[in-house]
Amino acid sequence: MLDIKKIRNQPEEIIRGLRNKNQKNADATIDSILKKDEDRRLCIEKANALKNQRNVVSQQIAEMKKSGNSADGQILEMRTVSEEIKKYDRKIKNFEGEIFDILLQIPNLPSETSPVGRTEDENVEIRQWGEKKNFGFALSDHLVLGKTLGLFDLNRGSKISGSGFPLYTGKGAKLERALINFMLDYHSEHHGYTEIFPPFLVNRDSLTNTGQIPKLEEDMYFCEKDELFLIPTAEVPVTNIFKDEILKEDRLPIKYSAYSSCFRREAGSWGKETKGLLRLHQFNKVELVNFVSANDSFAVLERLTNEAEKILQVLGLHYRVIELCTGDLSFSATKCYDLEVWAPAEKRYLEVSSCSNFTDFQARRGRIRYRRADGKVEFIHTLNGSGVATPRLLVALLETYQQPDGSVSIPEILQPYTGFHRISPTE
């Protein structure tokens, strides 16, 4: 949520940022919120004047009664004043509610360092790691490998739940679990993360705090009877651990890693690639969430991105880092890097991680603050990144490590988790 003081003091800067983020009717939105804010402050001014008048007259009434004089006229007058104050207080509360509702619809502003652009075509490649592997044989894609090696059964998964809900089988199920355990252990041992195992269902307030609601509510799976939502990412429950709290600055940074299943209806994904494991309604992910002081968040974003990259590096997978342009940033993000891993049989890069800095946007919604050493209280800055999501990682892993005989070798670092070094069609 944006700071109303910043909107009041720097409206042109806010409008420019919203335009860069493809926000429609940015001018009208800011004009509306400023008008309501002006009306609210006018009501506060009038209410305060009446309250001051009431205080003065109340003192006079006390003195008149003390001296034995009648104060009936002043008492009657103050009853009218009190009713006027109540009316202004109600107006103030209504204006505050209307302003809050508008603020919920306004996205975070893009960073001044984010490339300006309207669509993903204007994203900027920052760097690559590794090289595309050369194969001396015809490649199979992950669907063929999954079927011949008995790793997953999408048809039966669809029969159980519907399209987009994969059923992992045999060594495919064990490989999926191995990837999750490996990533959690790696981030704890090498990057200093504390592991969290969060709830997979959250309330509306939690999703509002992280920015998914109201913007993305149509993409949520909702349990109406219980008023709970299935989480789209572990970012939601983990970020809300500290909602309505004031932390001590010496606790920062706080770094949490969390595995969760993620549930997304993908209501807006019509026309996008959906075959196999490329776009799912349920998938697994290891999430990295950081709580940091206001001065550190952009430096932490670089570190967080490197931590997510390390997973792909130790697995020996070629990838690239993309910086998102302003128009492709998520609702809550001010700056974001995507990690895209190379899938040889798909002949394209697949996104496996987004690493985002939200500055104080989520913290304002969730009322997450910290007390500095000098006693001043500020909103904390939050960041998160996938470290990483498993479906497309599995696609890249299978296609990169396939062998001429149809088997798939397992990277050495994963073998202690899988208990096997190769998956063969005969097994």
Domain residue spans of the chain: 4-105, 120-423
d(CA 337, CA 324): 6
d(CA 287, CA 234): 6
54 has a pLDDT exceeding 90: no
DSSP-derived secondary structure letter, 3: -
d(CA 185, CA 188): 5
- Tens of pLDDT along 245-294? 999 999 999 999 999 999 999 755 545 566 899 999 999 999 999 999 99
Q: Which fold has domain 120-423?
A: BirA Bifunctional Protein; domain 2 (3.30.930)
Q: Is the backbone of residue 276 left (phi > 0), alpha (psi -120 to 50) or beta?
A: left
d(CA 228, CA 133): 45
The pTM of the full predicted model, rounded to 2 decimals, is: 0.92
**Inter-helix orientation angle 11-20/26-66, to 10°:** 140
β-strand pairing of 369-371 with 246-248? parallel
CA angle in degrees (0–180, nearest 5) for 59-61-63: 70
Report whether 259 contacts 284 (CB < 8 A): yes
d(CA 360, CA 283): 28
Amino acid at 21: K
- Tens of pLDDT along 140-183? 999 999 999 999 999 999 999 999 999 999 999 999 999 999 99
The helix/strand/coil state of 2 is coil
pLDDT band at 62 (very low <50, low <70, confident <90, very high): confident
Task: Select from 3.40.50.300, 1.10.287.40, 3.40.50.150, 1.20.58.760 the CATH code of 4-105.
Answer: 1.10.287.40
Would you tell me how many other CB atoms lie within 10 Å of the CB of residue 330?
18
